[in-house]
């Protein structure tokens, strides 16, 4: 299935589109497809919340990073405001994904497999 993205907004592949692709390409029913996509993202999310890295071969790594507290500034007033320590998610694409992106080039509209 090819999905043509011709929007002025940043194109995005949604969970609903992923479920639809599972339905069409693998033959799962729509409910099973939606449940599988939801379960996958729930598992990834919970792993990250628990502090575990998520590594998907051929795609990339999601990692939790702890950012130290630092001084900040309110841009409107110039007032100094402390920014508290926090955890953030980072993503590093695999070499294979980077190569695929470079091979695709800059064509428009974008076609999703």
Give 4's pLDDT tier (boundaries 50, 70, 90): low
Residues paired with 20 in a beta bridge: none
Same domain, 37 and 63: no
pLDDT per residue as tens digits for the range 89-113: 999 999 999 999 898 866 555 555 5
Q: What angle do CA 54, 55, 60 make, to 5 degrees?
A: 115
Other CB atoms closer than 10 Å to residue 83's CB: what's the count? 12
> How much is the pLDDT for 83?
94
Question: By the 8 A CB rule, do 25 and 1 touch?
Answer: yes
Enter the pTM of the model: 0.71
Which helix (DSSP H) or strand (DSSP E) does residue 92 occupy?
Answer: strand 86-93
Question: By the 8 A CB rule, do 29 and 22 touch?
Answer: no
Query: Which residues constitute the domain of residue 57?
Result: 53-107
Cα–Cα distances in angstroms (integers) from residue 56 to residues 18, 59, 83, 107, in the given order: 17, 5, 32, 27
The number of folded domains in the chain is 2
Q: Does residue 3 sit within a domain?
A: no
Q: Does residue 5 sit within a domain?
A: no
pLDDT per residue as tens digits for the range 26-60: 888 999 999 999 999 999 999 999 999 999 999 99
Residue with tokens 């599988």: 36
Q: Does residue 113 sit within a domain?
A: no
Q: Does residue 1 sit within a domain?
A: no
């Amino acid at each position: 299935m090819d999905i043509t993205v011709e929007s002025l907004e940043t194109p995005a592949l949604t969970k609903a589109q992923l479920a639809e692709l599972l339905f069409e390409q693998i033959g799962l029913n729509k409910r099973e497809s939606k449940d599988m996509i939801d379960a996958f993202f729930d598992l990834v999310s919970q792993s990250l919340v628990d502090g575990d890295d998520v590594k998907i071969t051929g795609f990339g790594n999601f990692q939790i990073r702890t950012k130290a507290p630092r001084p900040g500034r309110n841009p409107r007033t110039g007032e100094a405001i402390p920014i508290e320590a926090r955890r953030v998610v980072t993503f590093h694409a695999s070499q294979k994904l980077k190569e695929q992106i470079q091979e695709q080039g800059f064509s428009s509209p974008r076609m999703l497999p």
